[in-house]
Structure 1
Amino acid sequence: MHTSPHRSARALAAALTAVLVACLLSLTVVGRAHAAPGDGSVSDPNIAYVGRWDTASGTTAVANWTGAYVQTSFTGTTVKVRARDAVNLYASVDGGPDVFHAGVRGTVNLTPQPLPPGTHTLRITYRSGDTVFQGLVLDPGARTVAPNAPTGLIEFVGDSITAGALTDRLALDSYAWKTGERLGMRHTQVARAGYCLVGRSGCTGLSTQFFRTASTGGADWDFSRYRASAVVINLGTNDIGHGVSGAAFQSAYTAFLRDIRAKYPNAVLFAVQTLKKRYVPETRAAVTARVNAGDGRVRYVDTTGWLSDGADYEDGNGHPNEAGHTKFANRLAPVIGSALSGTAVPSAKAAAPGQPGDPNIKFVGRWDTTGSATAYTPYWAGAYYRVGFTGRTVQLKQRGTIDFWARIDDGPVKFYDDVKGTVNLTPAPLSSGRHTLQVNYQVVAGSYRGDAVFQGLVLDSGATTFAPPAPGKLIEFVGDSITVGTTTSQNARTAYGWLIGERLGTEHTQIAQGGACLVATADGCVGLERQFGKLNPNAATPDWNPSRYRADAVVINLGTNDVGHGVSSTEFQSAYASLLRKVRAAYPQAWIFALETFRGRYVPQTEAAVRAAVAGGDARLSFVDTTGWLGSGDLTDSVHPNDRGHRAIADRLAPIIAARIGA
């Protein structure tokens, strides 16, 4: 058959069109599978999924287990979430309270009151119902931004107690959620009411189900999706009601620890004594077996005395109420934090009670805990440690001569002048029972005078340590001799930073040194814009690891000394902007307060640096006008506040900080 040239051309054109359409369709499919960053869809890489989520479809993300959440940042003034069907969820914007949205579906407005323009943060947690995330709806032209999420993650494994059963907000009220929040880490609860360690007679065993994607079903979880820094196991409460023998429990627990280790080679594993003290010898024996097998990153956690019968429980079956969960978290968080921060000796043999490396000793501030297992050194001003101990006496081992302050059981603070060796802190023995100790070394102008090296405690025969209750928030004060407390009666202890931390019930540390500037100068002024990120104010290395603790607030009071070292206004403003960026990178969720210096130096430049950062999307930042805070009677000289002056500063500044961080 003869085919005309025109018909051949039309056929060729049709074929080319078909190929083009196919290519376009292919591109469209690829576009759906790989969402553009910032569009708010389920596949948007700027949306972080914490916990065990099924995101395989690309259009829906299904939350498995309890306490899973999504996290992102976004621009614009409003944000909505798409829900497939009726669901109960909590949403927190800009680190604010978790607002409950009950029985919502469709497109849910999370910002009925529009936000100020800028970059905001969002976290969504599902409680019950159709726990399916279908993406976000943003303002026209707005986009998501990769969240400043911490790298560390804690996985809590347990039953109804770990899930927060019987509390008002369930997972959000549980000790697991509270512990993760307090440590500033990501967290997830692989927990469900009624579950056991050992699968037996209708009770699901987490020794098997832990390795699955969901609390029911047999699909394996892909452990490459995230790596836990710590795994906290609280199991055994329910096993006894299902006839699990001690031998079977111990064997299963030992194998469970071994199998978790295979999935998380570097995580610290914590085996928690159940609140009802079930299978205690067996749990301890499982930990011992793993340690003897060479696993030096397993810890047994003794919870004796953590909660009070009656007042801390919802019922008679061992379920804590909200206050009980808070107490639990207050005890557990320091144990985990110490082990993860490097204060615990990473060996198969745990440090003896009271010695450097004892996880029950909480070191606050920038301490060097890496150079020696027998001596820990603090840097910067206002560092301290806190520990609980039993027995009637306690002594402090000091390598060389030093001045320090010690306080026992919230009693009076006692000053020890030029002491060394083994220093008796209880010349009059205490009553028998549990006690607390806090020690901080004396600084002069921000430098420690003498040998500020902790070498451990001497306790009574048979006595031990315990992790005392500790505040859930921390404030970092950055400055010079004024922030150090120079010329006050007790130096760092009577400085406004220490006073504010104590008043607000927070941890506190003074990243400050006498004579320091913001800008490092050629004539030798230490520049905190450069040294803020260092372990030691007087050394270029090593860098400080900000994951050792997470500040909830950072207060900057710098500029008093720069004038005397020839720092120009332009240099100062540029350096201040740089310091704000460094602080934000270290503490993504902290509120930063930039104080006007009390002598009114570089005020326009400080304000300008703050305005520029806010305009750039940092919404958690404030300039603090200190005009009129101090009178002539509040100063020791023309620069340094006296005790009364520091109290006056604390009176003005503490409410400002508290209003932002909820302390």
Structure 2
Amino acid sequence: MQTSPHQARPRTPGRGPLAVLTAVLTTVLVAGVLSLAGVGQAHAAPGDGSVSDPNIGYVGRWDTSSGTTAVANWTGAYVQTSFTGTTVKVRARDAVNLYVSIDGGPDVFHAGVRGTVNLTPQPLQTGTHTLRITYRSGDTVFQGLVLDSGARTVAPTTRPGLIEFVGDSITAGALTDRLALDSYAWKTGERLGMRHTQIARAGYCLVGQSGCTGLSSQFFKTASTGGTDWDFSRYRADAVVINLGTNDIGHGVSGTAFQSAYTTFLRDIRARYPDAVLFAVQTLKKRYVTETRAAVTARNAAGDTRVRYVDTTGWLTDGTDYEDGDGHPNEAGHTKFADRLAPVISAASIGGTTRSVKAAAPGQPGDPNIKFVGRWDTTSSTTAYTPYWAGAYYRVGFTGRTVQLKQRGTIDFWARIDDGPVTFYDDVKGTVNLTPAALPAGRHTLQVNYQVVAGSYRGDAVFQGLVLDSGATTYPPPAPGKLIEFVGDSITVGTTTSQNARTAYGWLIGERLGAEHTQIAQGGACLVATADGCVGLERQFTQLNPNAPTPGWDFSRYRADAVVINLGTNDVGHGVSSAQFQEAYSSLLRKVRAAYPQAWIFALETFRGRFVPQTEAAVRAAVDGGDSRVSFVDTTGWLGSGDLTDSVHPNDQGHRVIADRLAPVIAARIGA
């Protein structure tokens, strides 16, 4: 019998204290995953594949009280183990729909199966294999495994960290093909390499009212219905993601009642998970936004600093990312959601996750002392971080006398140590020595940026870590207080200058004003995405990669104090009309404002004077609409013929001239 914290385990006659203690402790955690030795079947043999086999891990809220059956409660619960032999079967009590992944392969759907279900119609190679079973619907009861003669289960290699997702039909993945497996919750957990649970059910509210089940109370139960309390000692969540409020409005829940319930809910979750980071997600339909924020603020004010509000504005697009008009994302929408949410969770450095920056060794990807500036992909791999757009760089402080950079493939890059000269490394790969002459012992700083990968240049711009002296470590580099983002095309990239992004006006201005700087720019880009293939930054501004529709960029990773837009030079050559341009410029201004609510936005007149009336009109419309932190910048006469390498692109001198003119304009607005 499974006991709750409020029930005493009955004393067995004739057993001494040590024997009783031993029996209690046979319910164990194997590598952090719940296993069931001693629950019901006290004498289950490790490796026999039975429900109580301690090598079988149960992720999620499973009712294991009988010892002979394990019932999956809520959605997205799964079983995991490893096994020897060439075949495996699962026992199902009655008809059930389930997904099975063997050796990390795709989840294979088994529909309406019952009895002893063969999961390996094609026998496997002899050896040790991994198994994960996820229940979709039907009689979600696990009754054990059937293995080859002489084969055994093996304790699974479990993922560090666990995320619990709390929500309604959206979190459950309703209306998608695979339900829980297609949901943002499942995708986020998989992307972060963590275990994950979905305490979610369609139609549920935060507040229990007018027939709607309230998760503010049902969350603490074993199942989505019923009153049996869940035993929170069976696992500990490292993060809890709450996405609630979409349904409450239809059940007459007032703002005051919602805020009070949310604040209490956060407090009660904290009592169960003292060390977890709690994420309160803005609902996609933007319901109870003020109240959700206020609940987070109240908990922060009460001293709980590990509660975060997640602004989802702009994450999904109406018409393309939803299954219906009721706010249910389609599979692509859930993927986008996960693309945006995973970095937010990762950045919180939650305990145990392989993406946690706390776990990274000094100088390696994930080291919190390395400051990555610009749009870097830090979630697709734990061993290689990839920069996108132009002008991305990283800075770090390090001790010792030498430093080397690990590069996967051939690349050009620039490196600067301390305040010394910038050194160019041409076509290097492997472990690159950045200090052929050893430095004085002590503390040093390093800054590296890669050659822009564009056109015929296809270098491998990937950061794989640093090699430091034995006993050396890293430390946080000095951090500028401001950040300026420059949005544009090849001119903003710095094309035709001596060092590309480094000698472009954006980089120069950032360095001059002592600010971090990013160049969200690509050669040949337009404002408007065109049918003949011009990349449109009105669309791609919100993305991690200029050349991919997903994933979206997580704007919580940095906040720009100023955004400089220089677009329109290329649109005229791709047939963009004046009306199209103005509409797209207004859209881009709205997107920038949503991403950076406090930033000052500067709309530059292109240096060739293209689409000037339309740019000015978009700025006026924004200001008339209440956005007072947008300015049009007249660049007439800034550049002369000696400042260009051709009729379009400034040379090094031209970029310095732009920086001379533009830096004071920006500084006057942001106080840099």
TM-score of the superposed pair, with normalisation by structure 2? 0.49
Q: 2:277 is matched with which residue: 258, 263, 266?
A: 266
Q: Distance in 1 between the 2:656 and 2:416 partners? A: 21
Preserved CA contact (<8 Å) 1:380 1:446: no
Preserved CA contact (<8 Å) 2:358 2:366: no
Q: Distance in 2 between the 1:422 and 1:489 partners? A: 26
Question: 1:141 matched to which residue of 2?
Answer: none
Matches within 5 A, 1:583-622: 583-622=592-631
- 1:564 and 2:541 equivalent? no
SS class of match (2:273): helix
Could you tell me which amino acid in structure 2 is paired with residue 474 of structure 1? L
Q: Distance in 2 between the 1:227 and 1:615 partners? A: 41
SS class of match (1:387): strand
Preserved CA contact (<8 Å) 2:277 2:348: no
- 1:488 and 2:497 equivalent? yes
Moved segments of 4+, more than 2 Å: 221-228, 258-265, 336-349, 444-449
Preserved CA contact (<8 Å) 2:349 2:356: no
SS class of match (2:277): coil
Gap change, CA 1:260 and 1:482, over 3 Å in 2: farther
The count of aligned residue pairs is 349
- 1:340 and 2:348 equivalent? yes
- 1:555 and 2:564 equivalent? yes
Gap change, CA 1:528 and 1:447, over 3 Å in 2: farther
Matches within 5 A, 1:374-453: 374-443=383-452, 445=454, 449-453=458-462
Q: 2:507 is matched with which residue: 498, 504, 511?
A: 498
Q: Distance in 2 between the 1:615 and 1:339 partners? A: 37
Could you tell me which amino acid in structure 1 is paired with residue 409 of structure 2? G
Preserved CA contact (<8 Å) 1:518 1:562: yes
SS class of match (1:438): strand
Could you tell me which amino acid in structure 2 is paired with residue 265 of structure 1? A
Q: Distance in 1 between the 2:459 and 2:521 partners? A: 18
Gap change, CA 1:468 and 1:458, over 3 Å in 2: same
Gap change, CA 1:373 and 1:561, over 3 Å in 2: same
Q: Give me the CA root mean square deviation.
A: 2.8
Q: Distance in 1 between the 2:637 and 2:653 partners? A: 14
Where does structure 1 lack aligned partners over 5 or more consecutive residues? Answer: 1-220, 229-257, 269-296, 299-335
Preserved CA contact (<8 Å) 1:342 1:370: no
SS class of match (1:606): helix
Preserved CA contact (<8 Å) 2:390 2:452: yes
SS class of match (2:512): helix
Question: 1:516 matched to which residue of 2?
Answer: 525
Gap change, CA 1:575 and 1:386, over 3 Å in 2: same
Q: Distance in 2 between the 1:407 and 1:490 partners? A: 14
Gap change, CA 1:613 and 1:446, over 3 Å in 2: farther
- 1:461 and 2:470 equivalent? yes
- 1:644 and 2:653 equivalent? yes
SS class of match (2:484): strand
Q: Distance in 2 between the 1:509 and 1:392 partners? A: 30
Preserved CA contact (<8 Å) 2:357 2:368: no
Gap change, CA 1:341 and 1:629, over 3 Å in 2: farther
Could you tell me which amino acid in structure 2 is paired with residue 436 of structure 1? T
SS class of match (2:464): strand
Q: 2:589 is matched with which residue: 577, 580, 583?
A: 580
SS class of match (1:660): helix
Preserved CA contact (<8 Å) 1:345 1:358: no
Q: Distance in 2 between the 1:580 and 1:450 partners? A: 33
Preserved CA contact (<8 Å) 2:355 2:379: no
Structure 1 residue 348: deviation in Å?
A: 9.7
SS class of match (2:497): coil
Structure 1 residue 346: deviation in Å?
A: 3.6
- 1:530 and 2:539 equivalent? yes
Q: Distance in 2 between the 1:444 and 1:401 partners? A: 12
- 1:225 and 2:236 equivalent? no
Gap change, CA 1:628 and 1:351, over 3 Å in 2: same
Question: 2:369 matched to which residue of 1?
Answer: 360
SS class of match (1:458): strand
Q: Distance in 2 between the 1:564 and 1:347 partners? A: 46
Question: 1:630 matched to which residue of 2?
Answer: 639
Structure 1 residue 410: deviation in Å?
A: 1.2
Preserved CA contact (<8 Å) 1:556 1:595: yes
Q: Distance in 1 between the 2:357 and 2:365 partners? A: 15
Matches within 5 A, 1:125-136: none
Structure 1 residue 265: deviation in Å?
A: 2.4
Gap change, CA 1:447 and 1:655, over 3 Å in 2: farther
Question: 1:286 matched to which residue of 2?
Answer: none
Matches within 5 A, 1:275-294: none
Q: Distance in 2 between the 1:548 and 1:568 partners? A: 35
Preserved CA contact (<8 Å) 2:270 2:276: no
Where does structure 2 lack aligned partners over 5 or more consecutive residues? Answer: 1-258, 280-305, 308-343
Could you tell me which amino acid in structure 1 is paired with residue 544 of structure 2? L
Q: 2:669 is matched with which residue: 641, 660, 663?
A: 660
Structure 1 residue 266: deviation in Å?
A: 1.7
Could you tell me which amino acid in structure 2 is paired with residue 432 of structure 1? A
Gap change, CA 1:645 and 1:353, over 3 Å in 2: same
Preserved CA contact (<8 Å) 1:445 1:484: no
Structure 1 residue 450: deviation in Å?
A: 0.8
Structure 1 residue 470: deviation in Å?
A: 1.0
SS class of match (2:397): strand
Task: Give percent identity, aligned residues only.
Answer: 85
Question: 2:480 matched to which residue of 1?
Answer: 471
Q: Distance in 1 between the 2:499 and 2:355 partners? A: 36
Preserved CA contact (<8 Å) 1:261 1:267: no
Preserved CA contact (<8 Å) 2:506 2:519: yes
Structure 1 residue 263: deviation in Å?
A: 5.4
Preserved CA contact (<8 Å) 1:476 1:509: yes
Q: Distance in 1 between the 2:455 and 2:659 partners? A: 19
Gap change, CA 1:613 and 1:601, over 3 Å in 2: same
Matches within 5 A, 1:182-261: 224-225=262-263
Gap change, CA 1:527 and 1:562, over 3 Å in 2: same
Per-residue CA shift, 1:290-314, capped at 9, x if unaligned? xxxxxxx99xxxxxxxxxxxxxxxx
Could you tell me which amino acid in structure 2 is paired with residue 266 of structure 1? V
Structure 1 residue 447: deviation in Å?
A: 8.9
Structure 1 residue 434: deviation in Å?
A: 0.4
Preserved CA contact (<8 Å) 2:357 2:366: no
Preserved CA contact (<8 Å) 2:566 2:604: yes
Q: Distance in 2 between the 1:337 and 1:468 partners? A: 24
Structure 1 residue 339: deviation in Å?
A: 4.0
Q: Distance in 2 between the 1:488 and 1:556 partners? A: 20
Preserved CA contact (<8 Å) 1:444 1:491: no
